Amino acid sequence: MTDLQINNYTIIHPKMGNQKLYKGSLQTIILKLLASNDKMYGYEITQKVKELTKGELKITEGALYPALHKLEADGLLDVEVAKVGNRLRKYYKLTESGARETANKLEEMQEFLRTMQHLVNPKFSLE
């Protein structure tokens, strides 16, 4: 089993392949990563998630970019284009409302995890 650390809480997931469980958490994962890293670009986010989960969780580009663009359109992310080497790169960072939304989403996630722990494994619940 591999663990994905989100704000001191752990999602314990079964053998991967069950990526469906993570679908609803994609925005939270992105927001949390940006909260801890100031600014990041799309490819970096996919690699960071892979690294943090030791390759168990892979965010495909087909899922990542629509999620990033939605967060940007909703005003939760700001973009910045910077020159890196001989080419340009688009970076994402949290806006003020994005930072507030991150705190809300993480709170929701913790609540969800506590409930799930109570349900699936009452003996080892997080509380």
Partner 1 sequence: MEKKYEIIEKQLVFLNGFLLRKYPSISDETRIELTDHLILDFEATTENGNLSQYLSNELGFIRKFVFNGVRKVKKTYRMETWSQFFSFFTDFKLLPITIFISLLFYFLNENLNNKIACLSIFILSSILFLVSIRKGMINKKALKHLGEVKFLGTEIWLPFFLVQLLAEKHIGEFITSNSYLFTVYSTFIIMYGLAALLILRKHKKIILEKYKHLLN
User: Smallest gap, in angstroms, from Cβ of residue 47 to partner 1?
Assistant: 6
SS3 assignment, position 76: coil
User: Smallest gap, in angstroms, from Cβ of residue 69 to partner 1?
Assistant: 5
User: Of the two residues 43 and 115, which places its CB atom closer to partner 1 in the complex?
Assistant: 43
User: Smallest gap, in angstroms, from Cβ of residue 30 to partner 1?
Assistant: 15
User: Of the two residues 8 and 60, which places its CB atom closer to partner 1 in the complex?
Assistant: 60
Q: In angstroms, how far is CA 30 from the centroid of its own chain?
A: 3
Rounded Cα–Cα distance for residues 7 and 19 (Å): 20
User: Of the two residues 22 and 91, which places its CB atom closer to partner 1 in the complex?
Assistant: 91
What are the residues binding partner 1 (CB under 8 A)?
41-44, 47, 61-62, 65-66, 69, 72-73, 79, 81, 86-90
71 CB burial (10 A radius; 0-12, 13-18, 19+): buried
For residue 109, which of 26, 20, 2 has the smallest C-alpha distance?
A: 26
User: Of the two residues 44 and 56, which places its CB atom closer to partner 1 in the complex?
Assistant: 44
User: Smallest gap, in angstroms, from Cβ of residue 93 to partner 1?
Assistant: 14
